[in-house]
A and B are shown apart, each in its own frame.
Chain A
C-alpha cells in the first residue's frame, strides 16, 4: 500500500481502507487477540492458583471459600476448570516457547549456595566407600550432616582426627554427638586410602574470596538442577534430618532426574578421560554438593562459610546394570551407605 504523506514528521498516514478485511487480516487480528488473552490468563491464573491455596490467611479462608468454593483446597469446579484451562495454555506455551513463569528470585531467595562436585575413586571394590580413610561424618546445627575430608578444597580447616575427636566431645550438644565424636579417632585412620580426585564444577571459582566471572552461565543452570539444601530446620531432630536429607537426595536418582544426574556424571568422567587418556579409569564416581551457607546480614561479615560436602549419589561405571535401567545409587543419611535407586 503506497500513500502520500503530508509531512516527514511521522504523523498518521492513511485513512481507513474501503475494502473489507482480507482473510489474512482477520486471521492476524484473531492472533493478536488470542495472544492478549493468552498473556492475561496464563500470567494471572498462574499467580492466583499459586497464591490462593498456599498463601490465603486462615482467617480469610472461610470468606474466600464462599466466593470460590473449594478453590483454596485445590478442589471443586473452579479448580478443575482452571486446571483444564492451564493444561491447554501449557500446550500453546510448549508449542511456541512462550513460557510465562516470571518469578526471578521470588517469592523466596536462597540463603545458601553450592556447586556440584565429582569425586573419582580408584578403589579395590569398596562397597561402602564413605567415610573414606581420613574422612569422617560431622554434624552441626547450621549445615546438618556432612562429610569432612582433607581433600575438600577450601573446606573448613580441621585438626587431626585424633584431636578433633577429643576436642569435639567438649563441644557436643548431646550424649549421642559426644559418642559419635569420641569414635572419630578410630574411624579408619590407619586404613590404606584409595586414590581420590575431587573435580570442582566448572562454574566454581578457584578462589572464592576473589574472582571475576564472565562465562559458564549455561553450566551453572545445569549445576542448579542438582542442588539440594540439606540444612536442618530449627529444632529438627537428628533422625528427622537424616530421613529428610535421604528423601531429598533420593529424588536425584528417581524418574527423569536419574538420567539427568547420570548424564552429568558421565560427562564429567568423559571430560576427565579425554584429558588423561593414559591413566586408569576411575571405578567409582561420587556426586557431592559443595554447600556454602551464606552469612546473614545480622552476622556482620560478608560472604559464606567454608564449603562442606554433602554426599549425594554414586555411579559405578563398570558395575553390571540390571533390567530397570537405574544405575545410580543415592546416599542414605540414616545408614550412611549408598543404596540402589530409585
Chain B
C-alpha cells in the first residue's frame, strides 16, 4: 500500500561552494537521486571484480612478480623524480611513496590542527560554519604517519643504522596529536555542546605511541647489520613485488576492496583502497593496460570523493533511511564533461588520419589479428559496411559535444555510443575497455524510477515482466 505519510528527503554529502555562473546553473547545483551514483558504483565494482579475477589474479606473478613482465627493476625509471608516479607495491622503501606519505601527513596535519584551532578561536563566532566532520582526515593522518614512519625505518634498515629518528618521528606525531586533543578539549570547555571525536582522538594519540615504542626497540638493536633479511617484517618494508606471498596478498586486498565497494560496505574506505590499489597495479606494470583502465581509474577517483554508498548499499540499510535520498550532482557532471572530452578529442585526432577520411580505417582495425575477436577470413565484413561504420563513428565523435546540448539529439548520441561500445565488444578483445566505458553511461539513466515505483507501492517493471 502506498504510504500516506509525507516522506522526508535527505541530501547526503557535501555541497561544493561554486562561484557564478556555476552557482546559478541548476545542472551543477540541483541534487540528483542517490540511485544514480549507486548504479555507477555497482557497475564499476562489478567490472572491477571481473577484471581483476579474470585478467589479473591468475597471472599475478607473471605480470607483477620479481621474475615476471613487471619486475620492479623493469619500471624503475617510472618512479624517479620529478615524476609523481607511485605504487604501493613498491613498498615503504620506495622514495616516491616516502615523499607522498610525508606530503599527505603535512597536509592532513595542517587541516586537522588548523580547523580545530579555528574552531577553538571562533567557537562563539556568528554565523558558525556547518559541522561536517566525517573523521576521514584523522584516518588519512594516521595512515600517512604509519606509512611515513615505515618508510623511514626502511631507509634505516637499508643503511643498517637506526638513528634516533626511528622513535623521534612518531614522537613528533604524538606531540601533534596531543596539540589537537588540547584544542578539542579546550573548545569543549568553552562550549559544552561541542562534540569531541573521542575515538579519532584516541587513535591519533595511541598510534604514534605504539610506533614510538617500536622505534625505540629498533634504535636499541645493537648490530642492525646482523638482522635476518628473511624475517617477515623486513620483507614487508621492501618492495612487495619481490615477495610471492606479499604480491598475492596485495591482489587479495584489491579483490576484497572491490567486493566491499560493490556492496557499499565501508564504502569510502573501500573506494579509496580500490583506487589506490588499481593505480598501484597499473603503475607497477603500465604495459598491461589500455584506455579502459584509465577510465576505471577516473571513475574510482571521482567516486572516492562522493557518497556513492548513499543508496543500494549495506551502509544505506544500516542508516535506515526511509525517504528518498539525494546527492549533489558534481561527480556526475564532471564525469559527463570527461565523457565529452573522450569522444571529442578522439574525433579531432581521427580527422587528421587519412584512412578515417577515406573510410577504410575500421577495415584495417577489424583485420588486426592481434586484437580482433574472430578472423575476418572466416567472417568477412563487407568493405562498404566498414566504410559506413568509419564515417559514422567519425561524425558522431566530432559532433558529440554539440549533440549532447539538446534533449533528443543527446539521447540519440548516447544510444549510438552504447551501440558503438557494444560493437567494439563484439568484434575486439580489449579487456575492460568496453565495460568501463559503458559505466560512464550508468549515472545518466533514471535509476530512481525503480525506487519511485517501489516507494509508491507500484510493481516494478521487472516484476511485471516475470
Interface string of A1-18 (1 = CB under 8 A from B): 111110011101110011
What's the Cα separation between A21 and B343 when bound, in Å? Answer: 35
Residue of B nearest to A294 (CB): B367
Residues of B within 8 A of A208 (CB): 369, 375, 377
Q: Does B226 contact A (CB under 8 A)?
A: no
Say how far B333's CB is from chain A's closest CB, in angstroms. 8
Give chain A interface residues in 82-104, CB to chain B under 8 Å.
91-92, 94-104
Listed stretches A27-35, A160-168, A179-187, A276-284; interface member: A27-35
A270 near B67: Cβ-Cβ < 8 Å: yes
With the chains together, A342 CA to B3 CA distance in Å? 77
Query: Does B297 lie within 8 Å of A19, measured CB to CB?
Result: no
Residues in A neighbouring B323, C-beta threshold 8 A: 5
Interface-located stretch among A60-68, A69-77, A213-221, A326-334 = A213-221
From A5, A31, A91, give the contact of B16 (CB < 8 A).
Answer: A31
| A216 close to B429 (CB less than 8 A) | yes
Please give me the residue from chain A that is nearest to B55 by CB atom: A218
For the complex, is B408 an interface residue (Cβ under 8 Å from A)? Answer: no
Residue of B59, B73, B275 touching A218 (CB-CB under 8 A):
B59
C-beta contact mask, B67-87 vs A, less than 8 Å → 1, else 0? Answer: 111110111110000111110
Bound together, the chains give a CA A240 to CA B374 distance in angstroms of 37
Contacts of A26 in B (CB 8 A): 17
Q: Which residues of A contact B148 (CB under 8 A)?
A: none
Given contacts A47-B345, A225-B287, whether A303 and B324 have CB atoms under 8 Å apart is no
Minimum CB distance partner of B65 in chain A = A267
In the bound complex, do residue B378 and residue A217 qualify as a contact, i.e. CB atoms below 8 Å apart? Answer: no
Task: Please tell me if A23 contacts chain B, counting CB pairs below 8 Å.
Answer: yes
- B426-442 interface code vs A (CB 8 A; 1 in, 0 out): 00011100000000000
The smallest C-beta distance from B252 to any residue of chain A, in angstroms, reads 19
Q: For the complex formed, measure the closest distance between the CB of B279 and the CB atoms of chain A, giving whole angstroms.
A: 4
**Residue from B127, B301, B367, B452 in contact with A97 in the complex, judged by beta carbons closer than 8 Å:** B301
**Of A10, A14, A18, A108, which is within 8 A of B452 by CB?**
A10
Contacts of A171-204 to chain B: CB distance below 8 A: 203-204
Q: Within 8 Å CB of B355, what residues of A?
A: 108-109, 111
| Residue from the set A95, A218, A266 with the largest chain B CB neighbour count within 10 Å | A218
Chain A 112-143 against B: per-residue CB contact (8 Å), 1 yes, 0 no? 01110000000000000000000000000000
Say yes or no: is A321 at the interface (Cβ < 8 Å to chain B): no
**A47/B349 in contact, CB under 8 A:** yes
Interface extent on A, as a size class?
A: 35 or more
**Beta-carbon contact of A210 and B132 below 8 Å:** no
Establish whether residues B301 and A10, one from each chain, have CB atoms under 8 Å apart when the complex forms: no
Pairwise interchain contact A20-B368, C-beta atoms closer than 8 A: no
Contact partners of B396 in chain A: CB under 8 A: none
Known: A39-B337, A210-B377, A217-B430. A94 touches B369 (CB 8 A): no
For B69, what are the chain A residues with a Cβ–Cβ distance below 8 Å? 222, 263-264, 267
Give, as a whole number of angstroms, the nearest-CB distance from A9 to chain B.
Answer: 7
Does A251 have its Cβ within 8 Å of any Cβ on chain B? no
B31 close to chain A: CB less than 8 A: yes
Is A223 an interface residue, CB under 8 A from the partner? yes
Q: Do A17 and B349 touch across chains, with their CB atoms under 8 A apart?
A: no
Q: Does A237 contact B (CB under 8 A)?
A: no
Q: Nearest A residue to B63 by beta-carbon distance?
A: A218
Residues from chain B with a CB closer than 8 A to the CB of A91 are: 82-84
In the complex, the answer to whether B334 meets A94 with C-beta atoms within 8 Å is no
B307 to chain A, nearest CB (A): 12
Q: Is the CB of B294 within 8 A of A8?
A: no
B8/A5 in contact, CB under 8 A? yes
* Contact residue among A43, A97, A106, A203 (Cβ-Cβ distance under 8 Å from B370): A203
Whether B370 pairs with A223 at a CB distance below 8 angstroms is yes
The answer to whether residues A267 and B67 also contact, given A5-B7, A106-B353, A107-B356 and a CB cut-off of 8 A, is yes
Q: Are B287 and A109 in contact (CB under 8 A)?
A: no
B431 A218 Cβ-Cβ under 8 A: yes
Chain A: minimal CB distance from B113 (Å): 13
Question: Complex Cα distance A314/B455, Å?
Answer: 68
Specify which chain A residues have a CB less than 8 angstroms from the CB of B203 in the assembled complex: none
Q: Does any Cβ of A come within 8 Å of B352's Cβ? A: yes
Residues of A within 8 A of B351 (CB): 107
B368 touches A97 (CB 8 A): no
Q: What class of interface size applies to chain B in its complex with A?
A: 35 or more
In the complex formed, the residue of B with least CB distance to A264 is B69
Cβ of A294 and Cβ of B364 under 8 Å apart? yes
Residue of A at shortest CB range from B67?
A270
A159 within 8 A of partner (CB):
no
Binary contact readout B2-32 vs A (1 if CB under 8 angstroms, 0 otherwise): 0000111111001111110010001000110
Known: A4-B8, A17-B130, A43-B345. A210 touches B67 (CB 8 A): no
- B68: A residues at CB distance < 8 A: 263, 267
Chain B residue with minimal CB distance to A8?
Answer: B455
With A10-B452, A97-B278, A98-B301 known as contacts, the answer to whether A267 contacts B375 (CB < 8 A) is no
B85: chain A residues at CB < 8 Å are 94-95
CA distance A242 to B15 in the complex (A): 63
| 0/1 interface trace, chain B 353-375, chain A, CB 8 Å (1 if under) | 11110001101110111111111
Question: B305 contacts A302, CB within 8 Å?
Answer: no
B326 at the interface (CB under 8 A from A): yes
Whether A4 lies near B371 (C-beta < 8 A) is no
Query: Which of A13, A97, A224 counts the most chain B CB atoms within 10 A?
Result: A97
Find chain B residues with CB under 8 A from A47 CB: 345, 348-349
Q: B288: CB under 8 A from chain A? A: yes
Residue A335, interface by CB 8 Å:
no
Which chain A residues (266-320) contact chain B, with CB distance < 8 Å? 266-267, 270-271, 292, 294-297, 302-304
Whether the pair A211, B67 counts as a contact (CB closer than 8 A) is no
Q: A19-B129, A28-B305 are in contact. Are A3 and B11 (CB under 8 A)?
A: yes
A297 lies within 8 A of B369 (CB): no
Q: Which of A12, A109, A222, A255 contacts B26 (CB 8 A)?
A: A12
Q: Is the CB of B346 within 8 A of A213?
A: no
Do A95 and B84 have beta carbons less than 8 Å apart? yes
Contact A211 to B374, CB < 8 A, known contacts A31-B305, A220-B429: yes
Q: Which of B56, B330, B356, B360 contacts A106 (CB 8 A)?
A: B356
Instruction: State the CA gap A163–B406 with chains docked (Å).
Output: 69
Alpha-carbon separation in the docked complex, A13 to B29 (Å): 11
- Whether the Cβ atoms of A1 and B11 lie closer than 8 Å is yes
Is B164's CB within 8 Å of the partner chain A?
no
A-chain residues with CB within 8 Å of residue B200 when the two chains form the complex: none
Residues in B neighbouring A107, C-beta threshold 8 A: 349-353, 356
Please give me the residue from chain A that is nearest to B285 by CB atom.
A222
A22 within 8 A of B: yes
Nearest A residue (CB) for B455: A8
Q: Are B14 and A28 in contact, CB atoms less than 8 angstroms apart?
A: yes
8 further A-B pairs in the complex, CB-CB below 8 A; given A113-B370, A221-B287, A294-B367: A13-B11, A46-B345, A97-B283, A107-B353, A224-B370, A260-B74, A302-B380, A304-B369
Among all A-B residue pairs, the 4 with the closest Cβ atoms? A217-B431, A107-B353, A5-B9, A29-B17
What are 18 A-B residue pairs whose CB atoms fall within 8 Å in the complex? Answer: A5-B324, A8-B7, A10-B452, A23-B129, A29-B17, A39-B338, A55-B352, A96-B279, A97-B278, A102-B349, A109-B353, A111-B355, A113-B368, A215-B429, A217-B430, A223-B370, A263-B69, A292-B369
